[in-house]
Structure 1
Amino acid sequence: MKNSIAERVSDFLKRYPPFNMVKPKNLRNIAAEVTIMYLEKGDTVFKKEDPSHEYIYVIRDGAVGLHYENGEVDEIMNIHDTGDVFGLQPLISKDPYQLTATANEESIVYAIPVNLFQSVTDNSAKIQKYLITAFASNIYAPYTSEVADKIFVDYLPNRSEDIVNFQTANYTEKPITCGVRSTLKSAAKKMSLHKIGCIIVVDSDKKPVGIITNSDIKNKIATGLFPIETPVTNIMTSPVITGKKDLTVANGQLQMIKNSIGHLCITKDGTVNSKLIGVLTHHDVLATLGNSPTVILKEIKRAKQTKKLRAARLKANGLLKSYLEQNIPISHIINVISQVNDAVTARAIDLAVKKMDSPPPVSFAWLALGSQGRREQLLFTDQDNALVFENVSKAQYKDTQSYFLELSRLVTGTLNKVGFEYCEADMMASNPEWCKSIKEWQEQFKHWILKPDQKAILLSSIFFDYNCVYGNQDLIDTLTDTIYTSLSETSLFYKYLGSDAVKSPSPLGFFKQFLVEQNGERKELFNIKSRAVMPLVDSARLLILSKQIRGVNNTYERFERLAQLEPENKELHESCAYAFKALSKFKTKQGLLHGNSGKLIDLETLTKEEKLKLRRCFKPIQEIQEILKIRFDLKNLI
Structure 2
Amino acid sequence: MSGLPSHNQEKKWQSRLDELYKKRLSDMAEHELTIESVHELHEKLMKDTIQIAIEKTESEQGRVPAHFTFFVMGSAGRSEQLFWSDQDHGIIYEQKEEANTEELQSYFLTFGETIVESLEAVGYERCDGNVMASNKKWCKSREDFAEQLNRWLKEDTWENLRYLLTFFDGRVVLGPEEYLADLKQVIFDEIEQNPVLLERFKDNTGRLRNGIGMFGQLLTEETGTYKGTFDLKQLAMFPYVNGMRLLAIQEELQTPETLERFRQLPETIDSIKKYEPSYRKLLEKRLIWQKSIDNYDHIHYLKVSELDSDEKKRLKQWVKEGRELYHKVEKIVGRE
| TM-score > 0.5, shorter chain as reference | yes
Q: Secondary structure at the match of 1:391?
A: coil
Residue matched to 1:560: 263
Structure with the bigger RCO (C-alpha within 8 Å, sep 6+) is 2
Residue matched to 1:400: 104
Query: Is the CA contact (8 Å cut-off) linking 2:35 and 2:284 kept in structure 1?
Result: no
Query: Is the CA contact (8 Å cut-off) linking 2:21 and 2:121 kept in structure 1?
Result: yes
Distance 1:594 1:354, change over 3 A: closer
Query: Is the CA contact (8 Å cut-off) linking 1:506 and 1:532 kept in structure 2?
Result: no
Q: Which runs of 4+ in 1 moved over 6 A?
A: none
Distance 1:367 1:613, change over 3 A: same
1:628 to 321, 329, 334: 329
Residue matched to 1:342: 43
CA distance in 1, matches of 2:215, 2:242: 26
Query: Is the CA contact (8 Å cut-off) linking 1:388 and 1:475 kept in structure 2?
Result: yes
> What do the CA deviations read for 1:281-322 (whole angstroms, capped 9, x no partner)?
xxxxxxxxxxxxxxxxxxxxxx981122223322331243xx
Q: Secondary structure at the match of 2:111?
A: helix
| Aligned sequence identity (%) | 25
Task: Note the 1:339-418 alignment, pairs <5 A.
Answer: 339-355=40-56, 356=58, 357=60, 358-392=62-96, 396-418=100-122
Query: Is the CA contact (8 Å cut-off) linking 1:466 and 1:553 kept in structure 2?
Result: yes
Q: CA deviation at 1:585?
A: 2.3
Q: CA deviation at 1:564?
A: 4.0
Q: CA deviation at 1:633?
A: 6.9
1:588 has 2:287 as partner? yes
CA distance in 2, matches of 1:493, 1:394: 37
Q: CA deviation at 1:530?
A: 0.6
Q: CA deviation at 1:562?
A: 2.5
Q: CA deviation at 1:371?
A: 0.9
1:486 has 2:190 as partner? yes
Task: Note the 1:42-191 alignment, pairs <5 A.
Answer: none
Task: Note the 1:156-555 alignment, pairs <5 A.
Answer: 305-320=16-31, 323-324=32-33, 333-355=34-56, 356=58, 357=60, 358-392=62-96, 396-550=100-254, 552-555=255-258
Distance 1:315 1:483, change over 3 A: farther
Residue matched to 2:274: 574
Query: Is the CA contact (8 Å cut-off) linking 1:366 and 1:385 kept in structure 2?
Result: yes
Q: Which consecutive residues of structure 1, in runs of 5 or more, have no partner in the other structure?
A: 1-302, 325-332
Counterpart residue type for residue 310 of structure 1:
Y
CA distance in 2, matches of 1:394, 1:451: 32
CA distance in 1, matches of 2:302, 2:180: 38
Counterpart residue type for residue 332 of structure 2:
R
Counterpart residue type for residue 25 of structure 2:
L
CA distance in 1, matches of 2:245, 2:256: 8
Query: Is the CA contact (8 Å cut-off) linking 1:453 and 1:496 kept in structure 2?
Result: no
Counterpart residue type for residue 331 of structure 2:
I
Query: Is the CA contact (8 Å cut-off) linking 1:498 and 1:628 kept in structure 2?
Result: no
Q: Which consecutive residues of structure 2, in runs of 5 or more, have no partner in the other structure?
A: 1-13
Q: CA deviation at 1:534?
A: 1.2
Counterpart residue type for residue 360 of structure 1:
V
1:616 has 2:297 as partner? no
Query: Is the CA contact (8 Å cut-off) linking 1:388 and 1:435 kept in structure 2?
Result: yes
CA distance in 2, matches of 1:605, 1:354: 46
Counterpart residue type for residue 162 of structure 2:
L
Q: Secondary structure at the match of 1:601?
A: strand
CA distance in 2, matches of 1:345, 1:317: 15
Query: Is the CA contact (8 Å cut-off) linking 2:235 and 2:319 kept in structure 1?
Result: no
Counterpart residue type for residue 280 of structure 2:
K
Q: Give the paired residue count.
A: 317
- Greater strand share, structure number: 1
Query: Is the CA contact (8 Å cut-off) linking 2:250 and 2:333 kept in structure 1?
Result: no
Query: Is the CA contact (8 Å cut-off) linking 1:560 and 1:574 kept in structure 2?
Result: no
Query: Is the CA contact (8 Å cut-off) linking 2:73 and 2:88 kept in structure 1?
Result: yes
Residue matched to 1:178: none
- Greater helix share, structure number: 2
Query: Is the CA contact (8 Å cut-off) linking 2:196 and 2:334 kept in structure 1?
Result: no
Q: Secondary structure at the match of 1:483?
A: helix
Q: CA deviation at 1:347?
A: 2.1
Q: Secondary structure at the match of 1:366?
A: strand
Question: CA RMSD for the aligned pairs?
Answer: 2.3
Residue matched to 2:9: none
Larger radius of gyration: 1
CA distance in 2, matches of 1:374, 1:427: 15
Q: Secondary structure at the match of 2:193?
A: coil
Counterpart residue type for residue 301 of structure 2:
L
The TM-score normalised by the length of structure 1 is: 0.47
Residue matched to 1:599: 300
Q: CA deviation at 1:556?
A: 1.8
Query: Is the CA contact (8 Å cut-off) linking 2:247 and 2:333 kept in structure 1?
Result: no
CA distance in 2, matches of 1:536, 1:556: 10
